[in-house]
A and B are shown apart, each in its own frame.
Chain A
Amino acid sequence: MPIEFKTPDAIEKQMQQVHIVAENVMRPDSRYLDDHEHERPVKFVNMIWPQMKQMEAANLKAALSRAEAKNGKSVAKNGNGAGAGKPSIANLTLLHMIEELSWGDAGIYLCIPSSALAGAAINAVATPEQLERFLRRFTEGEPKWGAMAMTEPNAGSDTSNIQTTATFDEEANEWVLNGEKIFCTSGKLALEESNGLVVVWATVDKSAGRAGMKPFVVEANTPGVTIAKVEEKLGIRASDTVSIVLNNARIPAENILGDAEVRTGKGNKGFKGAMKTFDASRPMVAASAIGIGRAAFEFTRDTLAKQGVRMVYNKPRWKLTSVQADLLEMEMQLKAAWLLTLEAGALLDAKQDNKLQSSMAKVKAGKAVTHITQKAVELLGPLGYSTELLVEKWMRDAKINDIFEGTGQINTLVVARQILGYTRLELK
């Protein structure tokens, strides 16, 4: 494909629909749900669920045929909505959708009923049997949520330091999980408010370091699993962030994703698998950041336009007022971040390595949008700072994007190691 910068018509059309939801279903509830932390965006969930079910069904179909192909059966390829020969636009579509929904409200968007990060982890390594057992539920019935539990009180960016253990009980043919997970997005929705599931990372051998890390599927209603705390946050308050305590939580032997062998180096699929899901999830976080940033930029620009401040795109820099220069800076930063994000997503669709680009996009978007939303509050003055408008909320919401799925600093480290060709031992 030659160099091209055009949103496919199919996406364009779909986004018109998504925009209607963002504007009419999300925006009107933004302030209420920010004020009433831990209440649910019921209207949004019920409205979007039919669409999500369809998407999940398509993803499951594709994952099943991939998994079966891996098992030696040759099956017709691709269920991602793309016909043979046509490049997939699944990730590109998702990026646009997340951007648009986050333009509506990022906290509400995070409550989207889907297998989410759990789905990505399951998709990456699951057997056909596991795919059926874990992901079928997201294609039918009531809304459900999936979540990922990695972070612990003493393991943030250093994921390989996790202390949660998984011990195999041969007699019962079960895994026994013990430990505490924190900062699990949608954990409550997944475990208590729906028949969902959480992918919990635990170690089968502490002495093996990252080689011992494995993902396990913990389903709702598993005895020994409790939500210990629902966090109160700076922003994205519509979304729940919880601590999960695992106290001799027993799950079937078949709930481990990938194999149980402790391997280092190339065969170390557990940890590598976790890192691989970041390549897919980081552009999504970037897209969400950009949605908030665009909301703040557009609102600021349009509000100031009514005050007589017009954007110009042909004047030398010295002719701009400082407010025009600020708005220009916001727009440029937004564009730079969005284009990097699209590049990371397009590579993902083309099944090319995007580790560098996805971290670049995440660094850029997290930082850009933090700046843009802060600037928006400043430019709009006392009204910008007041809760009369949503701008102050967008600033609080935006900040999370420079933190979760790897802070700006960790992602800068990933970029630095890639460009320098360094390992984590050479560049700490």
Chain B
Amino acid sequence: MYSFDMTSEQKMLVDTVHRYAEKQLRPLLREAEENKDAPKDAIQRGWELGLLPGSIEDQYGGFGEYSAITSALYLEELAWGDVGLSLHLLTPNLFALPISLFGSKKQKETYLPAFCDEDFPKATAAIIEPVYQFDPAELATTAEKDGNEYVINGKKTFVPLAKDAELFLVYANEKGTTQAFIVPADAPGVKVEDRVTMMGAHALAVYNMSFENVRVPKANRLGGLKGIRVNRLLTVSRISLAAMAVGQAKAAYEYALNYAKERVAFGEPIAHRQSIAFMLAEMAIEIESTRLMVWEAAYKFDHREDATRAAYLAKQYADKMVLDVTDGAVQVLGGHGYIREHPVELWLRNGRGFVTWDGLAMA
């Protein structure tokens, strides 16, 4: 069938996450952006929602089974609150979720229980590289087998929360395919370099990193002997990011809509004019279409159908949609939209980020 209703459990979760986004993230949005930092307390409260353990099987300490649909639903709410803070909150996922979905039994047993505790885990992933034309399927960072070890060499950028991280999942080119390796922060040759400031999402601290002859045991290769198919992993990331793009777009659309109904020009609200009203209608249509594309991809993933294509289409579509909608929101507010007093300029900066963030969020 085609149906569009959440289960009651999903509804409850979405309500909870929405409340968190509204009460904890929204009020902090500007402060976190200007301070380029995420207030610990808000992140801790977000962590206590138990979103990640909800995707980890109970034998490893979690209390759930991964569902891309359920994740898409709450990601939309989180991103509606604030994208930068959400990416910060979701950083441990970058390490734990690939292990949960694609790791060997041993890897799950070793690492996952720590992600079901009360404390915000200090783990992240290094996938993106400092090049103009980045392709996660053709990484410059290399992993070479040497006896019972892998030797990793290369440079990474946009590594979230690297400075505090104790564990990294490092993606590298092994004989032409992308594989991932579990690397402890104290392994010799691991270096966290400068913090990089992105155009938006400042609440997420990201860093440059270098790996110089970093040796890890071969057991640290994600998925063990089988390894991973990076496109399958990116499918999850694409669905997640597309869902967040919908949330970001929704925030901007709602703000612009409310503004247009209140802002009076020529004696009546500007929303009375088709030039404004039609922009808003267009945004509503595009947001809804994208949401449906995200859900379809997530549904396929959950039902073990090949979701690669649907996820790719959804992400590509969402990348453009979120830029158009956030840009439209700035335009609806006119000069006021350009001023940092309103959030729409930040949302436009966030909106442009999605196309560059492949692999930077997973839930």
Could you tell me which A residues sit within 8 Å of B by CB distance? 1-8, 87, 89, 92, 313-319, 328, 331-332, 335-337, 339-340, 342-343, 345-346, 357, 360, 363-364, 412-413, 415-417, 419-420, 422, 426-428
**A residues less than 8 Å from B281 (CB atoms):** 363, 412-413, 415-416, 419
- Give B97 Cβ to nearest chain A Cβ, in Å: 19
Is B225 an interface residue when CB atoms closer than 8 A count as contact?
Answer: no
Q: Is the CB of B293 within 8 A of A336?
A: yes
CB closest chain-A residue, reference B261: A420
Q: In chain B, residues 58-108, which have Cβ atoms closer than 8 Å to a Cβ of chain A? A: 69
Interface centre among B1, B278, B308 (most CB of A within 10 A): B1
- Give A37 Cβ to nearest chain B Cβ, in Å: 34
Q: Is the CB of A332 within 8 A of B316?
A: yes
Q: Kindly identify which residue among B7, B135, B260 contacts A316, using a CB–CB cutoff of 8 Å.
A: B135
**B residues less than 8 Å from A342 (CB atoms):** 2
* Separation of A6 and B4 alpha carbons in the complex (Å): 11
- Give B267 Cβ to nearest chain A Cβ, in Å: 13
- Give A332 Cβ to nearest chain B Cβ, in Å: 5
* Separation of A407 and B273 alpha carbons in the complex (Å): 18
Interface centre among A7, A331, A336 (most CB of B within 10 A): A336
CB closest chain-A residue, reference B319: A317
**Interface 1/0s, chain B 1-41, versus A by CB < 8 A?**
11111110010000000000000000000000000000000
**Interface 1/0s, chain B 294-315, versus A by CB < 8 A?**
0110011001000011001100
- Give A82 Cβ to nearest chain B Cβ, in Å: 12
- A335-B313, A415-B284, A420-B277 given as contacts; is B308 within 8 A of A6 (CB)? no
**A residues less than 8 Å from B148 (CB atoms):** none
Is B257 an interface residue when CB atoms closer than 8 A count as contact?
Answer: yes
Q: Is the CB of B295 within 8 A of A5?
A: yes
Is B166 an interface residue when CB atoms closer than 8 A count as contact?
Answer: no
Is B355 an interface residue when CB atoms closer than 8 A count as contact?
Answer: yes
* Separation of A340 and B282 alpha carbons in the complex (Å): 13
For the complex with contacts A340-B292, A343-B288, 8 further pairs of A-B residues with Cβ separation under 8 Å are: A2-B10, A4-B1, A5-B2, A346-B4, A412-B278, A413-B278, A420-B260, A428-B274
Q: In chain B, residues 273-291, which have Cβ atoms closer than 8 Å to a Cβ of chain A? A: 274, 277-278, 280-282, 284-286, 288-290
Is B110 an interface residue when CB atoms closer than 8 A count as contact?
Answer: no
Q: Is the CB of A328 within 8 A of B69?
A: no
**A residues less than 8 Å from B293 (CB atoms):** 332, 335-336, 339
Interface centre among A6, A7, A337 (most CB of B within 10 A): A6
- A360-B284, A419-B281 given as contacts; is B6 within 8 A of A317 (CB)? no
Is B137 an interface residue when CB atoms closer than 8 A count as contact?
Answer: yes
Interface centre among B137, B281, B316 (most CB of A within 10 A): B281
* Separation of A315 and B264 alpha carbons in the complex (Å): 46
Q: Is the CB of A5 within 8 A of B316?
A: no
Q: Is the CB of B282 within 8 A of A412?
A: yes
Q: Is the CB of A314 within 8 A of B2?
A: no
Q: Is the CB of B355 within 8 A of A3?
A: no
Q: Is the CB of B278 within 8 A of A416?
A: yes
Is B44 an interface residue when CB atoms closer than 8 A count as contact?
Answer: no
* Separation of A313 and B319 alpha carbons in the complex (Å): 15
Interface residues on B, range: 35 or more
* Separation of A313 and B290 alpha carbons in the complex (Å): 17
* Separation of A415 and B299 alpha carbons in the complex (Å): 27
Q: Is the CB of B272 within 8 A of A3?
A: no
Q: Kindly identify which residue among A317, A357, A415, A422 contacts B316, using a CB–CB cutoff of 8 Å.
A: A317
Q: Is the CB of A340 within 8 A of B272?
A: no
- Give A8 Cβ to nearest chain B Cβ, in Å: 6
Q: Kindly identify which residue among A6, A316, A336, A413 contacts B289, using a CB–CB cutoff of 8 Å.
A: A336
The contact sample of 15 A-B pairs, CB cut-off 8 A, is A1-B3, A2-B5, A2-B7, A3-B10, A4-B1, A5-B2, A5-B300, A314-B312, A316-B134, A332-B317, A336-B317, A360-B285, A364-B289, A420-B261, A426-B272
Interface centre among A3, A319, A336 (most CB of B within 10 A): A3
* Separation of A3 and B296 alpha carbons in the complex (Å): 9
* Separation of A7 and B316 alpha carbons in the complex (Å): 24
Q: Is the CB of B285 within 8 A of A346?
A: no
**B residues less than 8 Å from A335 (CB atoms):** 293, 296, 313, 317
- Give B229 Cβ to nearest chain A Cβ, in Å: 10
Interface centre among B261, B272, B289, B319 (most CB of A within 10 A): B289
**A residues less than 8 Å from B7 (CB atoms):** 2
Query: Which 7 pairs, one residue from A and one from B, show the smallest C-beta to C-beta distance?
Result: A1-B3, A336-B289, A339-B292, A416-B277, A416-B281, A415-B281, A313-B312
* Separation of A1 and B1 alpha carbons in the complex (Å): 9
Q: Is the CB of B295 within 8 A of A3?
A: yes
Q: Is the CB of B274 within 8 A of A3?
A: no
CB closest chain-B residue, reference A345: B2
CB closest chain-B residue, reference A364: B285
Is B345 an interface residue when CB atoms closer than 8 A count as contact?
Answer: no
**A residues less than 8 Å from B6 (CB atoms):** 2-3
Is B241 an interface residue when CB atoms closer than 8 A count as contact?
Answer: no
Q: Is the CB of A3 within 8 A of B5?
A: yes
- A3-B5, A339-B292, A415-B284 given as contacts; is B313 within 8 A of A331 (CB)? yes
Q: Is the CB of A314 within 8 A of B316?
A: no
**A residues less than 8 Å from B1 (CB atoms):** 1, 4, 6, 8, 87, 89, 346
Q: Is the CB of B234 within 8 A of A420?
A: no
Is B231 an interface residue when CB atoms closer than 8 A count as contact?
Answer: yes
**A residues less than 8 Å from B319 (CB atoms):** 317
* Separation of A398 and B127 alpha carbons in the complex (Å): 44
Is B129 an interface residue when CB atoms closer than 8 A count as contact?
Answer: no
* Separation of A413 and B280 alpha carbons in the complex (Å): 10
- Give B339 Cβ to nearest chain A Cβ, in Å: 24
- Give B310 Cβ to nearest chain A Cβ, in Å: 8
- A313-B308, A339-B289 given as contacts; is B5 within 8 A of A416 (CB)? no
Q: Is the CB of B2 within 8 A of A343?
A: yes
**A residues less than 8 Å from B274 (CB atoms):** 413, 416, 427-428
Is B271 an interface residue when CB atoms closer than 8 A count as contact?
Answer: yes
- A336-B317, A364-B289, A427-B272 given as contacts; is B2 within 8 A of A6 (CB)? yes
